[in-house]
Structure 1
Amino acid sequence: MPLATIHVLAGHPRPVLKTLVREAAATLARVIDAPPERLQVWITEVDPELYAIAGVPADEVLAERPRAEVEIPLVRLALMEGRPVETLHRVMAEMSAVTARVLGGDPQRVRVMIDPVHPDRWAIGGVPASVARAAELAARR
C-alpha cells in the first residue's frame, strides 16, 4: 500500500528521475520494512511556468539562479496508520536525503508530507485493508 509521489520542477534529466524512483522505492521499503512489491513510487513533474518561487514563476527564477538553490521538491507519502512515530520521522529524514542527493540539491529544501490512511479507508481489490490484512495490521500495533 505505501505510496510516494515526488513532485519536482520539470527539466531534470530522465536518467536522474529514474534513479530517484529506484532509490526512493528502496529507501521507503527499507525504512518502513515493507515488501517492495507493495510499494508505488512515481514522480510528478511540474511545469516551471506554473510553479511559483517567492511569488515569481519558476522559469523566470531559474533563468537567474541555479535549480539546486531554488527548487523545493515535495515528497508526499500515503502510509497506513499504526506505524511508530520514530519510523515516520526516520522515513521523512531518509526520503529527504535520497531526494536531495539524487537531484543534487540541499536536503533542507526538500519537504515531506505523510498522509496517514486508516485501514477502513484503503481497499485492496475492493476489500478494506482492515479486513484483507487484519493479522498484519494487528501485528504492527
Structure 2
Amino acid sequence: MPVLEVHLVEGLHTPAQHAELLVALSTRYAEVTDVPLDRVRAHVTLHRPELWATGGIPADGRSAPYFTAVLFADRLAELRRRLLGALTDLIVDVLGVDRRLVHGEVIPVQPDDWAIGGVSARTSRRAS
C-alpha cells in the first residue's frame, strides 16, 4: 500500500539527488510505518519551471518540494506526524532546500478502497 510522491521543479536537482531521495524516502517510510520495504512505491514527478509557482510567483530557481504519502486511514495520528516530519527531514537533507518551503500531506485511504493484486487490502489483511 505505501506510495510516496515528491513533486519537484525540473532542473533544480540532479538525477543522483532524485535517486538518493527515492531510496531514502522508501527506507524511512518502511521504518516509520513498519511495513516491508518491498511494498513501498516511490516516485519523483518533475514539473517544467514555467508550470510551477510558489506563493503566486513562478519558479525562480528556488525549490519548494511538495510530497504525498498514502497511508491506511486507521494509522494513529502520532505515526502520521512522525512520518511527515521524517519525510520532510530527508527532503531537506538530500536536496538542501529551505525547510519552510517543503510541504507535504498524508493521504488516508480506507483498506476497502485499496487493492493489492486486485483484492482489497481489508480482504488481504484477513487472509494473512
1:133 is paired with a residue of what secondary structure? helix
Superposition pairs of residues 123-134 of structure 1, within 5 angstroms: 123-134=115-126
Quick one: which amino acid aligns to residue 105 of structure 1?
V
Give the length in aligned residue pairs. Answer: 127
Partner of 1:139: none
Deviation at 1:112, TM superposition (A): 1.3
Superposition pairs of residues 1-141 of structure 1, within 5 angstroms: 1-11=1-11, 12-58=13-59, 61-62=60-61, 67=62, 71-134=63-126
Quick one: which amino acid aligns to residue 31 of structure 1?
V
Deviation at 1:73, TM superposition (A): 0.6
Matched residues in 1 for 2:57 and 2:99: separation? 22
2:85 is paired with a residue of what secondary structure? helix
2:104 is paired with a residue of what secondary structure? strand
Report the TM-score when normalising by structure 1. Answer: 0.85
Structure 1: 5+ residue stretches without partners: 137-141
Matched residues in 1 for 2:108 and 2:127: separation? 19
Matched residues in 1 for 2:16 and 2:96: separation? 13
Deviation at 1:135, TM superposition (A): 6.5
Report the TM-score when normalising by structure 2. Answer: 0.93
| Superposed CA offset, 1:51-76 (max 9, x none) | 11332321xx22xxxx3xxx211110
State the superposition RMSD in angstroms: 1.3
Structure 2: 5+ residue stretches without partners: none
Matched residues in 2 for 1:133 and 1:35: separation? 14
Deviation at 1:79, TM superposition (A): 0.8
Matched residues in 2 for 1:78 and 1:45: separation? 19
Deviation at 1:129, TM superposition (A): 0.7
For the pair shown, the structure with the greater C-alpha radius of gyration is 1
Matched residues in 1 for 2:76 and 2:56: separation? 37
Q: Report % sequence identity.
A: 34
Deviation at 1:82, TM superposition (A): 1.2
Query: In terms of mean alpha carbon deviation, does 103-112 or 5-14 score higher?
Result: 103-112
Matched residues in 2 for 1:54 and 1:120: separation? 37
Matched residues in 2 for 1:83 and 1:119: separation? 11
